[in-house]
Structure 1
Amino acid sequence: MIFLGVFIISCALSALLTRLWIPCVNRLGIIDKPDATRHLHVKPVPLLGGIPLLISFALIISALVLFSSYLPFQIKLPASSLISVGIGCLIILIGGFFDDKYRLPWYITIIFPFIAVLVVMIGGIHISNVTNPWGGIFSLEQYSWQLGSHTVWWPADIITFLWLLGMSYTTKILDGVDGLATGMVTIGALVITVLALFTIFYQPDMALVALALAGACLGFLFFNFHPATIFLGEGGSIGIGFLLGILAIVSGSKIMTTLLVLAVPVLDVAWAIVRRAVKGQSVARGDRLHVHHRLADAGFGQRGTVIFLYVIGIMFGVAGIFLKGFQKITVLGLLAVFVIIVLTLIHYATRYEVVSKNKKTG
């Protein structure tokens, strides 16, 4: 019952705070104006939606920690880790606020999540081991450097840094369509909940944390689904990916399962980096060539695109629950091939449509 209660309260609190926050943002005048070269919305929409979402999550986690003596189990995360996550989220929200208000260049905005990731790593959060697809566990703590009183596990810390920064920017890019980022993080958090509750590892405390995140995202989604009345903004879109990445680590390194849920956007981000690098463009440059943009332009519309990607995320999330090591890698590989085929078909379909329209008008 406690699990359902945490989910419902987190959802209700997030929805309430978001509803109260929308008029405040409108008065501040921090809104996202339509830009046909990058965005799909046609009307100005307030930003900074990540603030009520992350505050809701923080309040629920704080309450769970404060009243942990009344729970049948303890929240096992060390205080240093919890504090570092809170500081990291605050840094991301501050950076996001200034970016939403002043449109900072990418090389300034990346500083904030960069620092946030370092803060949580100093707080003790890192990927200590990975599952060997052919059996067993491979430890990432075999090699270390001693910097004063702090030990740097360099393979673990490098992989952790890349993982958290990658997750943060994956959800940022996902936020190009109403409700996509928040919905996918909700799905990811719920999949982690199932893994935490119904596997041999049994981590009820991590299930509560995952449900708090899922509930906060779902509560915000009521206002963020198409047609959105508020956007996550820079801080929110980066912040929820940052939290999901941390959750995947602290819940027992459920990295591959989280990757399966977000496989399409992760592959999309990887392809975008390659595409822009080949063209000699900045990898941080925004465009409308992402999977969700192509699907929307191909006739799916915003709602159709989001629901389609939700379904894929749920399917592969369920697969991640039941599949083991090498099977997950195989499925991820097959999904990569599937994404390439879909993108190719969409490319030629939209190209054919443009040519047909030109012939008719010509």
Structure 2
Amino acid sequence: MRVYLFIAVVAICATYLFTPLVRHLAIRWGAVGRVRARDVHIVPTPRMGGLAMLMGFVTAMLFASKTAFLRGVFQQNHQAWVVMVGAVLICLLGIADDIWDLDWMLKLSGQLLISVFVAWGGLQIISLPIGSLVTASPTISIALTALLIVVSINAVNFVDGLDGLAAGIVAIGGVAFAIYSYILARTSPSYASMATLIDVAMVGICLGFLLHNWHPAKLFMGDSGSMLLGYLITCASIVMTGRIDPATVRASIYLPAFMPILLPVLVLFLPVLDMLMAISRRLCKGQSPMHPDRMHLHHRMLRIGHSVQGAVLILWGWAALIAFSSIMLLFFTSWHVLVVFLVGVVALTCATMSPYLQRRLAKGAPKGHEDEPLPHCAGSRYTARHTRRR
């Protein structure tokens, strides 16, 4: 555990230190998001923060390769190097989009090619822990792996609409996933786990970048960052769940058989939900599925009156509730988890709807109190003018 914490600290420090340099490069290379009516920021802000995150991730992985505890993970197979090469490629694609605003079809094609390359390089879903289901052929395995990577990349990209939102959600999911993968690793002869390593390094780069990305952000992660995070969290999931022996999982009293499938879905529940809603909404209007609009979950939060920081914190809360409720199933009975989950749902629902409820109460207040300002009115007026592209 101490080695993993050390790697996380390395990732945090490296990303934090690289970010100012990347900000300077983003300005110099013209990767600066212009202010539009749908943007949150009110001054032109550089993007391309994914480059700093990539540098932090590679630094942490290289440190890990030199530690006695994790050296064997790098020597046993070449998955770690495949993951890093894929991370570099997906980040470079994102950098190109941050600078030149690539056509969505070109970007999607690039994502697919990189995903196929990574799957061909050995990062594949070999088995699915649902009964005894095993992929029928290498071709199906590569196709399934590539599809999962592309979906996750775009899910995180869709939810990246407010300062700190995507980094926080992925960090929360990464912590939950790291706990589970660490528990799995303890059931094996060696406690070292590639999935846990990827997770802790990913959480570290998210936290290091958040120190610069909290509202008002000094640097946006851009597509280079959101695509990188979606790629990394999927790679960790594939490394862990894609090679689990279903019989072994069912035999363990600590690891319910449904967890390997349930947890990856719940970790990215909010991004995937937002992506599915956006695609359905746009297709129903006859638009491209990548057509930008102002109807994402975070846009709705701003519209009902939340400030940027308030909306981000509440969406983090929903992500944590969903991800950690699944982890609690490993330690507590389902009834205890259900009670905690329902209490959390009630609390977060009240927090989510609080500006709307306050306005309703204000409308019904005596005449002398009608003109009193509401706590979130300033934030609501501010965000009504500025909503970022996604």
Return the TM-score normalized by structure 1.
Answer: 0.81
The aligned residue for residue 371 of structure 2 is none
Identity of aligned residues (%): 27
The aligned residue for residue 9 of structure 1 is 10
What CA deviation, in whole Å up to 9, does each residue of 1:268-314 have, x standing for no partner? 11111111111111001111100011102211121111111111111
1:27 matched to 2:28? The reply is yes
Q: Distance in 1 between matches of 2:70 and 2:85?
A: 28
Q: Distance in 1 between matches of 2:237 and 2:117?
A: 17
1:256 matched to 2:262? The reply is yes
Structure 2: give runs of 5+ residues left out of the alignment: 243-259, 364-390
Work out whether residues 248 and 255 of structure 1, in 8 Å CA contact, stay in contact via their aligned partners in 2: no
More deviation in 70-79 or 17-26?
70-79
Superposition CA RMSD, Å: 3.0
1:1-362 paired onto structure 2 within 5 Å: 1-37=2-38, 39-65=39-65, 67-68=66-67, 70-71=68-69, 74-75=72-73, 79-132=77-130, 137-141=131-135, 143-144=136-137, 151-152=138-139, 154=140, 156-199=141-184, 201=187, 203-205=191-193, 206-253=195-242, 254-323=260-329
Work out whether residues 196 and 204 of structure 1, in 8 Å CA contact, stay in contact via their aligned partners in 2: no
Q: Distance in 1 between matches of 2:222 and 2:53?
A: 11
**Post-superposition shift, 1:227?**
0.9
Q: Distance in 1 between matches of 2:219 and 2:234?
A: 24
Structure 1: give runs of 5+ residues left out of the alignment: 145-150, 357-362
Cα 1:301–1:201, aligned 2, differ >3 Å: closer, same or farther? farther
Cα 1:28–1:140, aligned 2, differ >3 Å: closer, same or farther? same
Work out whether residues 89 and 116 of structure 1, in 8 Å CA contact, stay in contact via their aligned partners in 2: no
What CA deviation, in whole Å up to 9, does each residue of 1:117-142 have, x standing for no partner? 0111001112222233xxxx33332x
Q: Distance in 1 between matches of 2:167 and 2:128?
A: 27
**Post-superposition shift, 1:76?**
5.7
Q: Distance in 1 between matches of 2:91 and 2:42?
A: 26
**Post-superposition shift, 1:2?**
1.6
Cα 1:26–1:161, aligned 2, differ >3 Å: closer, same or farther? same
**Post-superposition shift, 1:19?**
2.3
**Paired positions, count:** 326
What CA deviation, in whole Å up to 9, does each residue of 1:151-181 have, x standing for no partner? 42x1x33332221111100111111111111
What CA deviation, in whole Å up to 9, does each residue of 1:218-277 have, x standing for no partner? 101111111111011112111111110111111234452132132122111111111111
What CA deviation, in whole Å up to 9, does each residue of 1:296-347 have, x standing for no partner? 22111211111111111111211111337xx8xxx9xx99xx8xxx7xx97x
Q: Distance in 1 between matches of 2:132 and 2:54?
A: 34
Larger Cα-atom Rg? 2
Cα 1:232–1:167, aligned 2, differ >3 Å: closer, same or farther? same
Task: Give the AA of the match of 2:56.
Answer: S
Cα 1:257–1:201, aligned 2, differ >3 Å: closer, same or farther? farther
Q: Equivalent residue of 2:241, what SS? A: coil
Q: Distance in 1 between matches of 2:293 and 2:104?
A: 14
Q: Equivalent residue of 1:36, what SS? A: coil
**Post-superposition shift, 1:90?**
2.2
Work out whether residues 125 and 250 of structure 1, in 8 Å CA contact, stay in contact via their aligned partners in 2: yes
